[in-house]
Structure 1
Amino acid sequence: MPNYRRARVPGATYFFTVNLRDRSSDLLVREIDLLRATVRATKARHPFHIDAWVVLPEHMHCLWTLPAGDADFALRWQVIKFAFAKRLPLTETRTATLKARGERGIWQRRYWEHLIRDDADYQHHFDYIHFNPKKHGHVDQLRDWPYSSFHRAVRDGIYLIDWCGCLLESRDE
């Protein structure tokens, strides 16, 4: 089994990508209220700041800043994934290994995390998160995707309502 090395820096900001096991599913947007409630409950017990978040049908990206002295993002993801899955009916197919471990077949076991290095890195990931619904062809206008902190960024004056991330579009291709 691989030995994954994770950068753990207390109080840091991290970018995450978290995927469903079934990449053809729309579970995350279909159960958006449950996902939001699960994140709220997790934040209440294990505080963190949500800098940016986008939920797509089968994956999500987010930027979190952890409290000073705290680097345990893994616990937060464990709680979110477990609590979300626990509240769903058992309808997914599970392998014998998943059954033996008592695990659901909803989430990919791992997730991608990236320690934000500086302001430019932060801005790149912040923009990447908000551009994602357009990148994946879910909307033509980012304002039309309801499951994104893009709307908060517009209210806060970070983006104009018609921001499109055109620089990202050409750089990420």
Structure 2
Amino acid sequence: MQYRRSNTKGGTYFFTVNLAERNKRLLIEHIDDLRLAFKKVNVKFPFIIDAIVILPEHLHTIWTLPKNDADFSTRWRLIKTWFSKSLLKTEHINTSRMNKSERGVWQRRFWEHQIRDETDYNRHMNYVYYNPVKHGYVDNVIDWPYSSFHRDVEKGVYSKNWGEHIDIDGVFGETHG
């Protein structure tokens, strides 16, 4: 069976994107370069970032694409390229990547899920924001600096103490159906 990505124009999507070397901390060590990569791509290929959290070696985000556009793959390729070009070449590059003149910063693929409805949207928003707590980086969601959670607190979408008393078992699991 051949995998086919979703291609709904104007769709809203949840993504997980990982570094190739999961023991690195490049995404937060070079957060300004990553932010610039997102900004540069968004100028030419607009999209709305509904939510984002940047962890040391991976990120989760929810995007809404323009009405006439379903091409998130080009956006990710360009973001990864801009970010990779901003870094010194210190990563391990395997033979396959070397033969294709590729860097070894990112995993080649990413994981995407098209948001189906409001319940699905809310579940994924919560998953994005709770992720730093889940991974043990902070005790409270508000304490993680690399997240659009702060923006959503200012907008009144979330309270600043959201997530403090949540039992995560079965609530924020990897349930991307």
Task: Specify the TM-score bucket, using the shorter chain as the normaliser.
Answer: over 0.9
Structure 1 residues 104-144: Cα deviation after superposition (integer angstroms, max 9, x where no partner):
00100111000000000000000100000000000001111
Q: Which amino acid aligns with 1:156?
A: K
**Residue equivalent to 2:26:** 27
Structure 1 spans left out of the alignment, 5+ residues: none
Matches within 5 A, 1:7-26: 7-26=6-25
What is the deviation of 1:170? Answer: 2.4
**Residue equivalent to 1:43:** 42
Aligned residues: 172
**Residue equivalent to 1:130:** 129
What is the deviation of 1:3? Answer: 3.2
**Residue equivalent to 1:74:** 73
Mapped pair 1:89 → 2:88: yes
**Residue equivalent to 1:155:** 154
In structure 2, the residue corresponding to 1:169 is in which secondary structure?
coil
Q: Which amino acid aligns with 2:20?
A: R
Structure 1 residues 10-54: Cα deviation after superposition (integer angstroms, max 9, x where no partner):
001000000001111100000000000010010001000000000
Structure 1 residues 30-85: Cα deviation after superposition (integer angstroms, max 9, x where no partner):
00000000100100010000000000000000000000010000000000001110
**Residue equivalent to 1:110:** 109
**What CA distance in whole angstroms lies between the structure 2 residues aligned with 1:106 and 1:29?**
14
Q: Which amino acid aligns with 1:9?
A: T
TM-score between both structures, scaled by the size of structure 2: 0.94
In structure 1, the residue corresponding to 2:88 is in which secondary structure?
coil
Q: Which amino acid aligns with 2:146?
A: Y
What is the deviation of 1:167? Answer: 4.6
Percent identity, please. Answer: 49
TM-score between both structures, scaled by the size of structure 1: 0.96
Greater helix content? 1
Q: Which amino acid aligns with 1:63?
A: I
Q: Is the 8 A contact 2:141 2:164 kept in 1?
A: no
**What CA distance in whole angstroms lies between the structure 1 residues aligned with 2:77 and 2:164?**
32
Give RMSD over aligned pairs. 1.3
What is the deviation of 1:158? Answer: 1.0
